[in-house]
Amino acid sequence: MKIIPVKYIADSSEYFERIKDIEGAVYLDSCSENSSYGRYDIISAAPIETIISKNNETSIITKEQTKTITGNPFAILQKQLNKYQFADSTESPFSGGAIGFFSYDLCRTTENIPSITQDDIHLPLMYIGIYTWALVTDHHRKETKLITHKTDSETEEILRKLTTEITTRQETFTATNINWNQNYKDYRQALSKIKNYITNGDCYQVNYSQRISVDFSGSSWALYKQLRKHNPAPYSAYLKTEYGDILSSSPEQFLSVKDSLVTTKPIKGTIKRSKNAYIDQQLANTLRNSQKNQAENLMIVDLLRNDIGKAAEIGSIKVEKLFDIESFEGLHHLVSTITAKLPPKTNAVQLLKACFPGGSITGAPKIRAMEIIEELEKYRRNIYCGTIGYIGFNGNMDTNIAIRTSVINNNKLYYNAGGGIVADSDIEEEFKEMHTKTYVFISQIKNRTNTTKK
């Protein structure tokens, strides 16, 4: 393994622009050098292996061959990671390994969830690249390093691409015909059914969402740059795949593993911010003290403690923070923090499988909530409410909850928004909150140009 210092640039997207058109380019983006929530940015491209799960089969693609096998995608991923034994002498969280996405609908491989919703986007259940180099930016230390397991000549070529200046040009996109898949009448009907299920004892909470679709043409990267500028979020990501481009502005961490320490930070509770500092603080206090939001948050904390307990050391699970406020551009969130420790023979992939999908975007009890989601939502969620992130050769992992995440596929952009429904939810207020969550995104897709480099 080689570790090569590279010039620190606070805006690491400048590096990504230089390699974004290489096959398998990935960008895990904390969006801000000063963020208290995000520290690292990770950039890579040209995976030595791509693992794609679709239709009960998983394809393992290399330059030499494509091999298709059956079996659980999580187990297949771990088997492929086990093939690569690289020495790791760096403090970096990622020095090579798996980067990609796990669609929400991967839950069908671990739970007996019925197939009712329409699958009109056809994303893979799992799309993972195995990467043997990464450009890692540490914003706390103001350092950028190229970490590589490549040959000397391959490393020189990567460095050349990363450090060669490229010309500035203006890239544009066009987004028109924004359509919600439900009107208020349909939404009210669905939420009434959920509240009936809660009254009858089927569940305590259901995370219900709806989707917008937009006619899209032009540069997805230009749109992503708009989003990271106006809606920076610490678990953002940009991935280019043959199935479409994935743009995530997620504020929510799903699962992190660092030296066997597990952390998860579920979000339940959101309120729009004000530009007036006094009013903004009042809004944050309103969210913090909301009994409804506290009840929702606590349900998910209990659910995640149970999920993590399937893989963690007995007695190691702790709730470090309960009902904390984290503030982002445009929104305050109610966040709790849970930690645990993995036993020596349990790896990050096993933890991910035990907890997937994240409880903050399903409801409780988890399986029944997922069945109700399948009954009432019109379309498969695909990447929405799945997860994006990395699992390193060194056993470390960091993943997001793929909310505020869009897919651009065949000149269409798809974006979901939702919220947790409980017994005392006010249907009209839930409808308003869902539209609040999409406000920043919709405002940015109307802003059609961005200066980028080529």
- The token pair that represents 445 in the structure block: 């897709």
Beta strands in 45-183 (DSSP E): 49-54, 57-61, 66-69, 97-102, 126-131, 133-138, 143-148, 168-180
Query: If DSSP codes are grouped into helix, strand and coil, which group holds residue 154?
Result: helix
The one-letter code for the residue type at 443 is: S
From the list 150, 240, 268, 437, the catalytic residue is: 268
- The token pair that represents 116 in the structure block: 């009712």
H or E stretch including 188?
A: helix 184-199
Beta strands in 149-197 (DSSP E): 168-180
- The token pair that represents 392 in the structure block: 């390193």
From the list 171, 252, 430, 433, the catalytic residue is: 252
Is 433 annotated in the active site?
Answer: no
Query: If DSSP codes are grouped into helix, strand and coil, which group holds residue 332?
Result: strand
* Max CA separation in the chain (angstroms): 66
Burial 198-222 (b: 16+ CB within 10 A, else e): beeeebbbbbbbbbbbbebebbbbb
| 338 vs 318: CA distance, rounded Å | 6
Is 265 annotated in the active site?
Answer: no
| 252 vs 180: CA distance, rounded Å | 24
Tabulate helix, strand, coil % of the chain (nearest 5).
Answer: 30, 35, 35
| 26 vs 17: CA distance, rounded Å | 11
Give 397's contacts (C-beta < 8 A, 6+ positions apart): 255, 256, 257, 348, 351, 352, 389, 390, 391
Going 7 to 11 to 14 to 17, the CA torsion angle's sign is positive
Active site residues: 252, 268
